[in-house]
């Protein structure tokens, strides 16, 4: 199949299969452009839950495809590149979480959506960076909270809510790499630019920022701002989204290699192949899926 024909094939094949292509903001530009829906983790989860299509092609990483399958168990869910994972999600597992729950038997477990299906199944409620603060505020005062796995997001939530939580030790290696020195260097180069970052960044970064938001929140912030220049503290794929929606504004990455390798595995070639062969199909064990669905449903009820 010639590369110049791949887009045409994907469009035709998806119609034949009654499929929808959902892509995360961090995906390569060619994937964002051919997708039917582009969004952050919360938006993708909502789309999966409400999808009327028979096949969901998840252009993201494994935990996103698992969430889509959990929320749409009767749909065929395809992850075009099966090894697209998430290092942060790998920092938490169900057996270790069960041990932590034994230490704090009365605690409510909130798991970031960047976790495996098995970890979600051990959780009381999930959250995304879009609604994490609201999820924490929904827990009654006096209840202990175990927050898993992102310590940086957890510390940001604590700062915003004043609610102390029992933290897991996980982090996103891509966001955690951003330093205050990186920000200071960019600010010296672009003194008029606002600093906008994702809450997976370290606390010293979020404290320096003009805005701390999920990717969807950052998009709305940049669109609505009167500023013309922004220093962006999140994955490089999001620059395409911002340039597309805010062509009159200048975006500077906080550091040059702000790239998640796992988010770059999917391309037009393996997307076309996955549509042709219907691979790789994502399955979640029914017992795990049922329990994880409860945690995700509770998350989706909170805006």
Name the pTM for this structure.
Answer: 0.95
What mean pLDDT is reported for the chain?
Answer: 96
Round to whole Å and give the CA distance between 104 and 166.
9
Exposure string of 223-242, with b = 16+ CB inside 10 Å and e = fewer, is eebeeeebbbbbbbbbbbbb
pLDDT tens, residue by residue, 142-180: 999 999 999 999 999 999 999 999 999 999 999 999 999
Just give the CATH number of 89-171+291-300.
3.40.50.10800
pLDDT at 196 over 90: yes
Give the CATH superfamily of 178-257: NadA-like (3.40.50.10800)
pLDDT tens, residue by residue, 48-63: 888 889 999 999 999 9
- Pinpoint the alpha helices (H) of 190-285: 203-208, 215-224, 237-245, 268-277
Q: Residues 96-118: what's their mean pLDDT?
A: 98
| Fold annotation for 3-84+263-284 | Rossmann fold (3.40.50)
Q: Which residue ranges does the chain devote to CATH 3.40.50.10800? A: 3-84+263-284, 89-171+291-300, 178-257
pLDDT at 255 over 70: yes
pLDDT tens, residue by residue, 223-237: 999 999 999 999 999
* Tokens at 109, concatenated: 């477990």
Q: What is the pLDDT of residue 254?
A: 98
Q: How confident is the model at residue 4 (pLDDT cuts 50, 70, 90)?
A: low
Q: Are 116 and 93 in contact (CB under 8 A)?
A: yes
């Amino acid at each position: 199949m010639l590369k110049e024909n791949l887009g045409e094939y994907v469009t035709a094949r998806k119609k034949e299969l009654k499929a929808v292509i959902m892509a995360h903001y961090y995906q390569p530009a060619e994937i964002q452009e051919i997708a039917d829906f582009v969004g952050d983790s919360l938006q993708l989860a909502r789309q999966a839950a409400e999808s009327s299509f028979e096949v969901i092609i998840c252009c993201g990483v494994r935990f996103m495809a698992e969430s889509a399958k959990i929320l749409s168990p009767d749909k065929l869910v395809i992850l075009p590149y099966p090894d697209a994972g998430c290092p942060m999600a790998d920092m938490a597992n169900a057996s270790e979480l069960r041990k932590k729950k034994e230490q704090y038997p009365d605690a409510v477990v909130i798991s970031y959506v960047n976790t495996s299906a098995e970890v979600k199944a051990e959780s009381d409620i999930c959250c995304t960076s879009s609604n994490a603060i609201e999820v924490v505020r929904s827990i009654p005062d006096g209840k202990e909270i175990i927050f898993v796995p992102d310590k940086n997001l957890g510390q940001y939530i604590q700062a915003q809510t004043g609610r102390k939580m029992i933290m897991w030790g996980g982090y996103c290696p891509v966001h955690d790499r951003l330093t205050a020195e990186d920000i200071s260097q960019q600010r010296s180069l672009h003194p008029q630019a606002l600093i906008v970052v994702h809450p997976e960044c370290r606390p010293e970064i979020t404290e320096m920022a003009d805005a701390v938001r999920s990717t969807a929140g950052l998009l709305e912030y940049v669109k609505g701002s009167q500023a013309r220049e922004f220093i962006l503290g999140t994955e490089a794929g999001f620059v395409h989204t911002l340039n597309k929606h805010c062509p009159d504004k200048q975006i500077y990455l906080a550091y040059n290699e702000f790239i998640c390798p796992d988010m770059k595995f999917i391309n037009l070639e393996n997307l076309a192949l996955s549509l042709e062969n219907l691979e790789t199909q994502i399955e979640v064990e029914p017992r795990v899926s049922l329990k994880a669905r409860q945690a995700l449903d509770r998350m989706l009820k909170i805006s």
